[in-house]
Amino acid sequence: MPKRGAFIVIEGLDRSGKSTQAAALLRRLQDAQVSAKLIKFPDRTTPIGKMIDAYLRSESELDDRAIHLLFSANRWELASSIEATLRSGETIICDRYAFSGLAFSASKVRPGSQSYPLLDYDWCRTPDAGLPAPDLTLFLDVSTDAAKARGGYGEERYEREDVQRRVRDVFVRIGDQVEAGGGRWEVVDADESEEAVRDVIWDAAKDLVKGVDAPIEKLWDDK
């Protein structure tokens, strides 16, 4: 049986360089004649994505559970096409995925409290359970100082230091859980130069992009 494409997710805090690195990896794959495409979540072009976009730009207010479910629905809109693409032998590079959904929602706190979670971690995980699972997740770990020095920081809803710190804590928990479940989660120091990060990512991905023999796993299969 021919090999399927690899599903590679790039995750991280805001301004960690995900989109920059996703585009660089795509170019490198194309240069190497590997069939690959880039997708991104949220996909702001669909009807659900337009609601998400308005929320992120603070043009609309939504209940915290409602927006969480919309982010997840935005991924389910594309789930079958992700599987079909991988089966056709094409590799997918995905700029943010369900891990962002979990990290940003489960790190929300009740107004006036700095610690008491608004949404339960497992409640946040449930809507994404069963989505295609990545073969590799690269977590771009950026310090607050480096992120703030980059263009555009602070323009959208979640781009605040206290928010990003809590989001990072949840990402660390998610990474441990992915690894405990047998998945690959690589932490990349995203304070480094664009070129240095590019090389680390290529090292982690280069064998996988030759094609994958194993079936597509389901995300959060323990649920």
- What the block records as the tokens of 25 is 């990896």
Q: Smallest gap, in angstroms, from Cβ of residue 167 to Na ion?
A: 14
Binding partner of 168, given ligand T5A, Na ion, none, CB within 5-8 angstroms per partner class:
none
Name beta bridge partners: 137: 9, 185
- Contact string (CB under 6 A) for ligand T5A, positions 18-57, x = contact: xxx--------------------xx-------------x-
Q: Smallest gap, in angstroms, from Cβ of residue 30 to ligand T5A?
A: 18
CB atoms < 10 A from the CB of 89, how many?
14
Q: Smallest gap, in angstroms, from Cβ of residue 103 to ligand T5A?
A: 8
CA distance 61 to 64: 9
The answer to whether residue 104 forms part of the interface with ligand T5A (CB under 6 A) is yes
The four Cα atoms 86, 39, 103, 4 give a dihedral, to 10 degrees, of 10
Binding partner of 151, given Na ion, ligand T5A, none, CB within 5-8 angstroms per partner class:
ligand T5A
Closer by beta carbon to Na ion, 50 or else 87: 50
Footprint of Na ion on this chain (CB under 5 A)? 19
